[in-house]
């Protein structure tokens, strides 16, 4: 990324009157990148319809194309032609950017190529944890080398086949370690039996999403024991799938209803979903909103009060930055717990939130596994984003209620929502 864009400041719009809006959201990152991987390994061509077009998903499409399953991203529906399994031996390089889903989900797929596949990414991606995935691949018979052995960069020396079998990993740093192994496992000779041994696995709904995507394509998955997932070897059925809107990216928009005392509707909110972001319905109601889910979508209405919240966000850590920002505006204290693992996200989110919210006057205490916030008068200033899309979301939420908040590098939101700043600014009456 160019240095000028990284340090550029964006004046966050301030809501001077209630915002009443209907916001169409782009597709889910998590669903798009799972369906792309499964489509690339499927037993025939398929489409990922209404795919999210963003940095993370374009990197995934490019990676799978490089490995031999071309993804045509020219339209709104992305067509995938599987070719990785049994494909040509062509050495390849994969750019992971800062995408956890690319750096964790693609290496187990690359192991199925009969070629060397080199992985690297953004500077901060080299610090994100992923050693458990590489160790698991090695124990399944895959040769993975690299200067560190535990992190990016590394090279997967694929032989065209993976034995598979039983692996024990510690997935307490990221659910994506488990999802990564499950997604490629039907193509392994023995499938996979993944057991977790360690502190509780975070973001479990994301593993449930992986299991649901596999089953929808006819793959046999046994997740009946806690901390154990077994995937049988077999074909991954080709299908056309439609991607739901990204419910986690709905957070700043729905929160604008609370910070402005207005009302925001997100159409197309699914009545049942595997997305962790669905938890916003309960969380926002607890923080003082009126929340209605009907055929029109999800409508959140501010009641004039923002209440603090005591919440264990272990399952929904990706919502923490937005919730922390809203909590900083609340008129009662908050305690956000169970999220030590978000220190390994796009940045150390607990440290970044504590620093940046405190810089705007918030009373924040950083704990090993979370944050406490107490009511305090906020003021304007620069809100730094650390190349993290969800830090940018946190900055604009505060900025909607506080004069003169300048958000650094707003375009970092393109990781999962290109053009976010235009959609956001368009919601404020001039």
Ligand X SMILES: O=C(O)C1=C[C@@H](OP(=O)(O)O)[C@@H](O)[C@H](O)C1
Ligand Y SMILES: C=C(OP(=O)(O)O)C(=O)O
Buried b (16+ CB within 10 A) or exposed e, 155-181: bbebeebbebeebbbebbbbbbbbbbb
164 sits in the region (left: phi over 0; alpha: psi -120 to 50; else beta) called: left
Least Å from the CB of residue 391 to ligand Y: 10
Q: How far apart are CA 351 and CA 172, in angstroms?
A: 19
Binding residues for phosphoenolpyruvate: 29, 100, 128, 176, 349, 390, 415
Of the pair 59, 306, the CB lying nearest ligand X is at 59
**Residues facing residue 291 across a β-bridge:** 300
Residue 203 interface partner, choices ligand Y, ligand X, none, CB cut-off 5-8 Å depending on type: ligand X
The secondary structure of 309-350 as a DSSP string is -EEE-GGGGGGHHHHHHHHHT-SS-EEEES-GGGGGSSS-HH
Q: How far apart are CA 254 and CA 264, in angstroms?
A: 6
Least Å from the CB of residue 314 to ligand Y: 14
Q: Which two tokens stand for residue 356?
A: 């940046």
Binding residues for 3-phosphoshikimate: 29-30, 34, 174-176, 203, 318, 345
Least Å from the CB of residue 33 to ligand X: 7
Q: How far apart are CA 176 and CA 332, in angstroms?
A: 34
Of the pair 255, 360, the CB lying nearest ligand X is at 255
Q: Give the N- to C-terminal CA distance of the chain in Å, as an integer.
A: 32
Of the pair 95, 116, the CB lying nearest ligand Y is at 95
CA-nearest of 113, 227, 128, 121 to 178 is 227
Of the pair 388, 409, the CB lying nearest ligand X is at 388
Question: Which residues of this protein are in contact with ligand Y, per CB under 6 A?
Answer: 99-101, 318, 345-346, 390, 416
The secondary structure of 83-138 as a DSSP string is -STT-----EEEE-TT-HHHHHHHHHHHTTSSSEEEEE--GGGGGS--HHHHHHHH
Least Å from the CB of residue 401 to ligand X: 25
Give me the catalytic one of 318, 346, 356, 421: 318
SS3 24: coil
Least Å from the CB of residue 285 to ligand X: 22
Of the pair 223, 318, the CB lying nearest ligand X is at 318
Q: Which two tokens stand for residue 61?
A: 């499409």
| 334-337/310-312 β-pairing | parallel
Binding residues: 29-30, 34, 100, 128, 174-176, 203, 318, 345, 349, 390, 415
Q: What is the DSSP letter of 227?
A: T
Active-site residue 290, yes or no? no
Of the pair 15, 36, the CB lying nearest ligand X is at 36
Least Å from the CB of residue 91 to ligand X: 28
Residue 66 interface partner, choices ligand X, ligand Y, none, CB cut-off 5-8 Å depending on type: none
Question: Which residues of this protein are in contact with ligand X, per CB under 6 A?
Answer: 30, 100-101, 174-176, 179, 202-203, 206, 317-318, 341
Residue 341 interface partner, choices ligand X, ligand Y, none, CB cut-off 5-8 Å depending on type: ligand X
Residues taking part in catalysis? 318
């Amino acid at each position: 990324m160019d240095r000028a864009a990284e340090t550029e400041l964006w004046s966050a719009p301030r809501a001077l009157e209630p915002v009443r809006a209907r916001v169409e959201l782009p597709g889910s990152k998590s669903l798009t990148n799972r369906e792309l991987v499964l489509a690339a390994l499927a037993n025939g061509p398929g489409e990922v319809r209404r795919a999210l077009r963003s940095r993370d998903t374009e990197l995934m499409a490019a990676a799978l194309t490089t490995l031999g399953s071309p993804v045509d991203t020219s339209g709104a529906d992305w067509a995938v032609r599987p070719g990785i399994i049994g494909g040509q031996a062509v050495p390849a390089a994969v750019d992971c950017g800062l995408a956890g889903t690319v750096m964790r989900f693609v290496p187990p797929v690359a192991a199925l190529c009969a070629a060397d596949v080199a992985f690297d990414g953004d500077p901060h991606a080299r610090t994100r944890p992923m050693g458990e995935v590489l160790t698991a691949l090695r124990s399944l018979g895959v040769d993975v080398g690299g200067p560190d052995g535990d992190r990016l960069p590394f090279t997967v020396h694929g032989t065209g086949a993976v034995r598979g079998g039983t692996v024990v990993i510690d997935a307490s740093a990221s659910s994506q370690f488990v999802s990564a192994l499950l997604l490629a496992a039907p193509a392994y000779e023995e499938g996979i039996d993944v057991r977790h041994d360690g502190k509780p696995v975070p973001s479990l709904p994301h593993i449930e999403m992986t299991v649901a995507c596999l089953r929808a394509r006819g793959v046999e998955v046994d997740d009946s024991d806690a901390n154990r997932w077994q995937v049988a070897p077999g074909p991954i059925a080709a299908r056309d799938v439609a991607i739901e809107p990204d419910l986690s990216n709905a957070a700043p928009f729905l929160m604008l209803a609370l910070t402005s005392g207005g009302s925001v509707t997100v159409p197309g909110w699914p009545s049942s979903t595997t997305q962790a972001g669905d938890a916003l319905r309960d969380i926002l109601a607890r923080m003082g909103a009126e929340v209605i889910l009907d055929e029109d979508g999800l409508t959140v209405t501010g009641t004039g009060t923002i209440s603090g919240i005591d919440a264990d966000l272990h399952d929904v850590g990706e919502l923490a930055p937005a919730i922390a920002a809203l909590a900083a505006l609340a008129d009662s204290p908050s305690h956000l717990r169970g999220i030590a693992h978000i220190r390994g996200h796009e940045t150390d989110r607990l440290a970044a939130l504590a620093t940046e919210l405190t810089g705007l006057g918030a009373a924040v205490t950083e704990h090993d596994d979370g944050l406490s916030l107490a009511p305090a008068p906020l003021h304007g200033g620069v809100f730094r984003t650390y190349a993290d899309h969800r830090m940018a979301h946190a900055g604009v939420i505060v900025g909607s209620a506080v004069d003169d908040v300048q958000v650094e590098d707003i375009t970092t939101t393109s990781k999962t929502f290109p053009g976010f700043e235009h959609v956001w600014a368009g919601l404020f009456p001039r």
